Structure 1
Amino acid sequence: MSSAFELTRVSVVRPGKILLSNITWSVEVGERWIVLGPNGAGKSTLMQVVGATMFPSSGTADVLGHRLGEVDVFDLRTRIGHTGTAIAERIPPHETVRDAVMSAAYAVLGRWQERYEDIDGTRADQIMGELGITTLADRTFGTLSEGERKRTLIARALMTDPEMLLLDEPGAGLDLGAREDLLASLEVLSEADGAPVLVMVSHHVEEIPRGFTHVLMLREGQVVAQGPLSETLTAKTLGRTFGMRLDLTVDDGRYGARRAAYGHRAG
């Protein structure tokens, strides 16, 4: 299997609203994608299709070698890691970070009566170490800062060794320091041997970690541009995506953007 997923002319339509329109997108094993777009662009809907939690209204979606509509999605979903606010809201505040990570092995939120093996604890400790949160292991989830929670959720999503990891706006709500800690963790993850395919949703080019390879840009449910990051992310495509003229800078693999000065034409 060379393709992690392949969407062909996918549309998602709800009464009175087209959420996605005619999306064709293929992601190969080993790639790291950033999905950029303003609010309402369809980014979260797209992640639900890729994550096998929403079926397209039309078109085909092949995920990890299986076509949606022809496969048991409950089995398929165990091969995909997710992070997002919905998961964070369901973790008991009294749960320790180590337990919050380890309980993913049994697909539960909150320790109950499940029995864990030594290999589960070893795996949880390894992941927390790689993400730089070992010191949080005995802290309770309810005492964590927003940035610490985000990294804990990523560790939990990695616990089952997924083939694909979907990160839905992991930088949302973080201050500068917490964002930089998160990006450092993602950069380490993106370069690790055997790392899953990474797809990260964001509104901001400043949140693109080093090591990411490709970009998909959405506006009003349609693709503006897609392809290798260094070739596709330009001031022109970014401006079309967000509906304004923008200047784009790149410094040591990190991106920045701001509104172009009055009278200046973004290149």
Structure 2
Amino acid sequence: MTDPVLNVSDVTVVRSGSPILQGVSLTVHAGEHWALLGPNGAGKTTLLRMLGAFEHPTKGAVEVLGKRLGRVDMRALRAGIGHVDPRHMPSGTLTVREVVLTGATNTAALIPRWQASPEQLAEADRLVDLLGLSHRRDADWQILSQGQRGRTLIARALMPSPRLLLLDEPATGLDLAGREQLLERVDLLQRTHPELASVLVTHHLEELPPGTTHAMLLRDGRTVAAGAVDEVITTAHISTCFDHPVRILRDEGRWSVRPVQPQLN
């Protein structure tokens, strides 16, 4: 097996004297697609920021793309990571194609006097098509639906051909159709980018693509369970993680949650 894309070893993060993560470990290999789930305040955002080379741990070790945080130029490391944040706002008036091209420079706007190469232009167009946006290629970002924006940001994140894709609640604010279109395209990446590893953060099991291979559950900064998705996303583990009794169902690769009816005396 090749070296892991991510290797988090017994990591603790303390902020203002309070522990945010405690003894968390995670190993992600090429081609694996992880879900990171947990209630608000579980530590998901902090962990994702370390995986994206934005923060250092207080204790423990984090290796991203074979580079240990604290011994590497974090900005240079981030250039090899695709990061999808639905809160990202491009600077200026940009078309879909131009937003995707900003992924080549990892900036919010097109750099003055910078010119994309013919190869970069072709790659941007290929990604726009892959994400189902060819009919919106020249549309202004400001008039896109939330779902179209989400798919544009995934194309942007793929522009530098990253080995790692981080998706921070990518279905936030989407209606049913927008969510399903986005998840279909995320799942397609397994076939078009077979070596790509991904970590997707969400609160909702319904937002997990069918191709999710592994999962980690966090609660109060600690790992509840981590490993193969069918062993982690279970009724017992999810009920413990969210401190609420539920029943987990899976049908045709998608998960859903059902309430547990209280016993009446």
Please classify the TM superposition score into its range, dividing by the shorter chain length.
over 0.9
Partner of residue 201, structure 1: 201
Partner of residue 107, structure 2: 108
Partner of residue 59, structure 1: 60
- Secondary structure at the aligned position of 1:125 is classed as helix
Superposed displacement of residue 53, structure 1: 0.6
Q: Provide the aligned C-alpha RMSD in A.
A: 1.4
8 Å contact kept, 1:36–1:217: yes
Partner of residue 222, structure 2: 222
Partner of residue 43, structure 1: 44
CA distance in 2, matches of 1:190, 1:174: 22
Unmatched runs of 5 consecutive residues or more in structure 2: none
- What code does the residue aligned with 1:13 have? V
CA distance in 1, matches of 2:238, 2:211: 20
- Normalised by the length of structure 1, the TM-score is 0.95
CA distance in 1, matches of 2:212, 2:231: 13
8 Å contact kept, 2:92–2:109: no
Aligned length: 262
Partner of residue 188, structure 1: 188
CA distance in 1, matches of 2:93, 2:153: 15
Partner of residue 78, structure 1: 79
Superposed displacement of residue 74, structure 1: 1.7
8 Å contact kept, 1:92–1:142: no
Which runs of at least 4 in structure 1 moved beyond 4 Å after TM superposition? none
Superposed displacement of residue 93, structure 1: 5.4
- Secondary structure at the aligned position of 1:52 is classed as coil
Q: How does 1:144-223 map to 2 (within 5 A)?
A: 144-223=144-223
Unmatched runs of 5 consecutive residues or more in structure 1: none
CA distance in 1, matches of 2:207, 2:236: 19
- What code does the residue aligned with 1:9 have? D
CA distance in 2, matches of 1:191, 1:81: 17
- Secondary structure at the aligned position of 2:5 is classed as strand
Partner of residue 99, structure 1: 98
- Secondary structure at the aligned position of 2:31 is classed as coil
CA distance in 2, matches of 1:209, 1:176: 14
CA distance in 2, matches of 1:195, 1:182: 20
Partner of residue 27, structure 2: 26
Partner of residue 11, structure 1: 12
What is the identity percentage for the equivalent residue pairs of Structure 1 and Structure 2?
38
- Normalised by the length of structure 2, the TM-score is 0.95
- What code does the residue aligned with 1:113 have? R
CA distance in 2, matches of 1:141, 1:92: 10
- Secondary structure at the aligned position of 2:121 is classed as helix
Cα separation, partners in 2 of 1:156 and 1:129, compared to 1, 3 Å? same
Cα separation, partners in 2 of 1:80 and 1:193, compared to 1, 3 Å? closer
CA distance in 2, matches of 1:193, 1:61: 24
8 Å contact kept, 1:244–1:259: no
- What code does the residue aligned with 1:250 have? R
- Secondary structure at the aligned position of 1:180 is classed as helix
8 Å contact kept, 2:21–2:222: yes
| Corresponding position: 1:260 with 2:234 | no
- What code does the residue aligned with 1:227 have? G
8 Å contact kept, 2:33–2:212: yes
